[in-house]
Structure 1
Amino acid sequence: MPPAPPPPETPSFEPYLARGLLLVALALGAILRVRLALTDDGLYWPDEIYQSLEPAHRLVFGYGLVAWEFIDGARNWALPGLVAGLMEVARALGLNTPGGYLGLVKGCFAVLGTATAWGSYRLARTYGAVPLAAAAGACLLALGSVPLYFAPRAMSENASALPVVLGLSIALAPGASRRALGVGASLLGLAVMLRLQTGIFCVGLLAILAARRQWKEARFALGVLAGWAVLFGLLDRLTWGEWFHSARVYLEFNVIRQGGSGWGTAPPSYYTRVLLKSMMGVSLVATGLSLLALRRAWSLAALVVAFYVLHAAQPHKELRFLIPMFPLFAALAGVGLDVVLRDWSTERVRALMALSVAAVGLGSAGLASQLTFGELGQYESTRPQVSAYDDSGPINRLLEVAGQREDMCGLKIEAPAHLAWTGGYSYFHRRVPLYWYQGPDRGSGLFNYVITLPQFRFGGEEVAQDNGFVLLRLSRPGCTPDPAYSWRLP
């Protein structure tokens, strides 16, 4: 008699679980990010307005407040140019109000943040992690409270994170073709155009290729990056009049003169302390898994450590500075989880471990709405218990309402808020003078509307109010022209 056929193998559910886990995490992360983009009009830090939205508004609509960086030339025009392109798209779609074009811009940044989590998955796969481990690691980025909070904000850190993680995942893939290496190096070059500090990863790419003794590939990548350096310099030449002008001024101000220290300093332990306060579970799990990944992904770990240490060594620190590092950290966690999973052959145990890591990310997402500025390491000595959400949001929404008033000819924000901590003309969207609380008084005749506190709503008609702030139309017709009005941000 012929031997009995072997029993059929039980089909594995792991690939389906990995795919489902990744899709659910990305979908939920996208929903939370886009929701925040459309509901939060607040600021974390003025840079999200005056390094991107406001200069982009000037490019598209012809007016806006000018920060010192765009007077001295300490920033290049790549990020504002990108944002201006999105504003032009919004205008072409008929989204001509701040709610329309800002919603599109912030929504695009929210989607960019979701794509960055997918980039973490791809980078973990590049370093040999199985799909289930890579997906679980990506969940930490897709659902972590800090990445969720920052995602919709039009900042250089957010814009550069996706090209960094995709560039590394493509360029460092085993057996990467010459074309793939060129694409990966180009993405890293683009990241540097958007944020100068990501040049660390360009150096890292060349160092990794050299450590692998891939000399031909290293020379080619160096040539591609050199081409992007020329583009960087050319952009400065066309906009500021000198090659590499923005890089030189920026480095002189922040590295040589330590100008950033004027906005506060912190010890090297700052980032560790703040990450544990803002998302302890995600930070501890990612760190533990990353340690397990050291042997398999030492080069990726070296990039994370280099980026972290160089930022920790700088006196002025803000949590947002680490955003380009987060997707690499999540990918490293995915590799570490893969090391753990390889010791288990039982699919149910492997699935339980991956789901446990994903649950840590989900728990962090559940706590995201409770973040305070103190937990984010911001305003720690002045208002650490204040919610990190919608800060200055009421003023910004009243700015939008004010800009739509037909008789508007000048506006003063009487509330004790510096213009840098408001949305400027990106929200106001009206080419008339905008004064801050230290500007001219009501008797000057230079403005006919004020945003003020309820106790000061005398002398006019209340037009709108929002969470303790009032838009008031003063009892006077028209405004006196102000030939001395300055568009420079105070």
Structure 2
Amino acid sequence: MSASPPTAEAPTERLLARAVLVLILGVGATLRVWLALTDDGIYWPDEVYQSLEPAHRLVFGYGMRAWEFIEGARNWALPALVAALFKLSAWVGLDGPRGYLGVTRSVFGLLGAASAWGSWRLARAHGASALAAGAGASLFALAAVPLYFAPRAMSENASAPAVVLGLALALAPGASRRAVLAGASLLGLSVLLRLQNGVFCVGLVGVLAARRDWRAAREALLVLAGWALVFGLLDKLTWGRWFHSARVYLDFNLVQGKAAAWGTAPFAYYGQVLLRSMGAVTLVALGLSLLAARRATGLFALAAAFFVLHALQPHKELRFLVPVLPLFAALAGVGLDSVLRALPPSPVRLALPLALVAMAGFSGLRVGLLTFGDVGQYEDVKPRASAWDDFGPVNRLLIAAGRLPDVCGLKVEAAHLAWTGGYSYFHRDVPLYAHNGPGRESGLFSHVLTVPGAVGGGEVVASEGPFVLVRLPYARCAPDPAWSSRLP
């Protein structure tokens, strides 16, 4: 169905709506940048080895290589984006890890704030008042889960603004030809950054066809086909075969089912985790989204299809839902608008949106208390451990090691390399060995990152939390022709 036209807003409501939008975007952006600059932890290795590390290799010439960038299971769009941020940081003198990582993580955080604005735009496009749309957008701008993931250099974060803004342009009832073409182009870009966003592309064409807007459906399909060619050409230029990364990725995950090696979960996993991490926000967003289904049928169907398709996959991670969360925030805004239209003019009409914003803000206040159990990671290993700064001390010692003038090789004994920041944090063109690498007596490295009980005869040169950086005596750092940059 087409969206209902926006209702006339009183001057007080317009002023309040403007203040709410500025508040949620300003606070949301500030919190995201603050988190970007204060946390060195890792939620999952992909946030380093699918983006930061290949980008470091592009810009600085060295870095660990995950299997995806050896066999070609990922395209180079996301690493190229991060590499551009690294290069820009170096140009302005921020050429150390603190500089280029701070810039990159802050930019990803600001992309999250842009996604919140996109939620507002999407709700407005479906007839929600500015105040209701702003209150709905607060569920993404201020809630705990979007804040937690925001600074992480992951494809979900990079693609989310393109998804929500693309749909805001292309799905708006009565959208101009230019808006449909621009929206479809943004969705095509989102697939370049994350293949799974193809669900939104198929859905867009389906929704336009269901509306019998055949011209818009044809033109959107042509634009998306053009972006598909860009995807294929990028793979051809970088991997030597058209659509190579998509073929390898789909074969690995859907045909061979190897992603299950990283864990499987039941269909209800996402709902259970969202209720643990931000229960009130989840329940209210769900209820308001159901109320919005009649007015924003196409948008609701798209969001629901994305959610269900991910819930049906055996391997699940909460981050996979990041691109769809702004859509549910927009639907919440439309649903809230339906509630407000049913109410007579009264203070309640203003109080309800403000209560929604307050609820989102309260969820955001809890973000620092999130555990891995809350975000659905390592549930069988350390569910009560803080989800923040996991292996952050190791990464800070990697930065310290990279600054030492006499380091000519480093072995990380205290953690698996995949759960560290690699060369993106170490930033020194010398061999970096895994915990199962050569022994200390090999003379192939000068320093080890270990725990206090394993110092041996070395000298502790730095410490952080439960880890120490140790200089080994008589290290020769002999050349090692067997060293490999492949991530173990």
The residue aligned with 1:304 is: 303
The residue aligned with 2:4 is: none
- Separation in structure 1 between the aligned mates of residue 82 and residue 66 of structure 2, nearest angstrom: 17
The residue aligned with 1:76 is: 75
Gaps of 5+ in 1: 1-9
The residue aligned with 2:13 is: 14
Q: Deviation of residue 294 (structure 1)?
A: 1.2
Q: Deviation of residue 11 (structure 1)?
A: 6.0
1:461-484 Cα distance to aligned partner (Å, 9 max, x none): 211111111111111254111110
Alignment-mate amino acid for residue 419 of structure 1: L
The residue aligned with 1:447 is: 445
1:112-156 Cα distance to aligned partner (Å, 9 max, x none): 001100000000000100001000000010011000000000000
The residue aligned with 1:147 is: 146
| Residues 37 and 103 in structure 1, CA contact (< 8 A), matched pair in contact too | yes
Q: Deviation of residue 182 (structure 1)?
A: 1.1
Classify the secondary structure of the residue corresponding to 1:443.
helix
| Residues 454 and 470 in structure 1, CA contact (< 8 A), matched pair in contact too | yes
Classify the secondary structure of the residue corresponding to 1:462.
strand
Percent identity reads 64
Classify the secondary structure of the residue corresponding to 2:347.
helix
Alignment-mate amino acid for residue 478 of structure 2: T
The residue aligned with 1:4 is: none
The residue aligned with 1:488 is: 486
Alignment-mate amino acid for residue 213 of structure 1: R
The residue aligned with 2:458 is: 460
| Residues 418 and 436 in structure 1, CA contact (< 8 A), matched pair in contact too | yes
Q: CA 1:236/1:356 → structure 2, altered by over 3 Å: closer, same or farther? A: same
| Residues 134 and 335 in structure 1, CA contact (< 8 A), matched pair in contact too | yes
- Separation in structure 2 between the aligned mates of residue 25 and residue 216 of structure 1, nearest angstrom: 37
1:402-460 Cα distance to aligned partner (Å, 9 max, x none): 01111110001111x11101000000001111112111111110111111111222312
- Separation in structure 1 between the aligned mates of residue 463 and residue 20 of structure 2, nearest angstrom: 44
Classify the secondary structure of the residue corresponding to 1:342.
helix
| Residues 445 and 480 in structure 1, CA contact (< 8 A), matched pair in contact too | yes
Matches of residues 257-268 of structure 1 in structure 2 within 5 Å?
A: 257-268=256-267
The residue aligned with 1:361 is: 360
The residue aligned with 2:117 is: 118
Classify the secondary structure of the residue corresponding to 1:60.
helix
The residue aligned with 1:469 is: 467
| Residues 462 and 472 in structure 1, CA contact (< 8 A), matched pair in contact too | yes
1:53-94 Cα distance to aligned partner (Å, 9 max, x none): 000000000010000001110000000010001111001011
Alignment-mate amino acid for residue 375 of structure 1: D
Q: Deviation of residue 398 (structure 1)?
A: 0.4
Q: CA 1:347/1:88 → structure 2, altered by over 3 Å: closer, same or farther? A: farther
Alignment-mate amino acid for residue 62 of structure 1: G
Q: Deviation of residue 349 (structure 1)?
A: 1.2
The alignment status of 1:285 with 2:284, answered yes or no, reads: yes
Matches of residues 80-159 of structure 1 in structure 2 within 5 Å?
A: 80-159=79-158
- Separation in structure 2 between the aligned mates of residue 486 and residue 166 of structure 1, nearest angstrom: 42
The residue aligned with 1:252 is: 251
1:277-336 Cα distance to aligned partner (Å, 9 max, x none): 011011001001111111111111101110011001100000000000000000000000
The residue aligned with 1:430 is: 428
Between 1:173-182 and 1:216-225, the stretch displaced more is: 173-182
Between 1:453-462 and 1:310-319, the stretch displaced more is: 453-462
Q: Deviation of residue 174 (structure 1)?
A: 2.7
The residue aligned with 1:421 is: 419
The residue aligned with 1:316 is: 315
The residue aligned with 1:404 is: 403
Alignment-mate amino acid for residue 474 of structure 1: L
Classify the secondary structure of the residue corresponding to 1:472.
strand
Q: Deviation of residue 347 (structure 1)?
A: 4.6
- Separation in structure 2 between the aligned mates of residue 308 and residue 183 of structure 1, nearest angstrom: 25
Alignment-mate amino acid for residue 481 of structure 1: P
The residue aligned with 1:350 is: 349
Q: Deviation of residue 241 (structure 1)?
A: 0.3
Matches of residues 321-332 of structure 1 in structure 2 within 5 Å?
A: 321-332=320-331
1:240-280 Cα distance to aligned partner (Å, 9 max, x none): 00000000100010011111100000110101110100110
Q: Deviation of residue 175 (structure 1)?
A: 2.4
| Residues 407 and 478 in structure 1, CA contact (< 8 A), matched pair in contact too | no
Q: Normalising by structure 2, what TM-score?
A: 0.97
Which segments of structure 1 move beyond 3 Å, counting only runs of 4 or more? Answer: none
- Separation in structure 2 between the aligned mates of residue 109 and residue 40 of structure 1, nearest angstrom: 14
- Separation in structure 1 between the aligned mates of residue 275 and residue 127 of structure 2, nearest angstrom: 29
| Residues 444 and 475 in structure 2, CA contact (< 8 A), matched pair in contact too | no
Q: CA 1:225/1:11 → structure 2, altered by over 3 Å: closer, same or farther? A: closer
| Residues 395 and 421 in structure 2, CA contact (< 8 A), matched pair in contact too | yes
| Residues 443 and 475 in structure 2, CA contact (< 8 A), matched pair in contact too | no
Alignment-mate amino acid for residue 456 of structure 1: A
The residue aligned with 2:3 is: none
- Separation in structure 2 between the aligned mates of residue 121 and residue 268 of structure 1, nearest angstrom: 30
Q: Normalising by structure 1, what TM-score?
A: 0.97
Alignment-mate amino acid for residue 175 of structure 2: A
**Cα RMSD (Å) of the superposition?**
1.0
| Residues 144 and 364 in structure 1, CA contact (< 8 A), matched pair in contact too | yes
1:372-401 Cα distance to aligned partner (Å, 9 max, x none): 001111000011000000001000010011
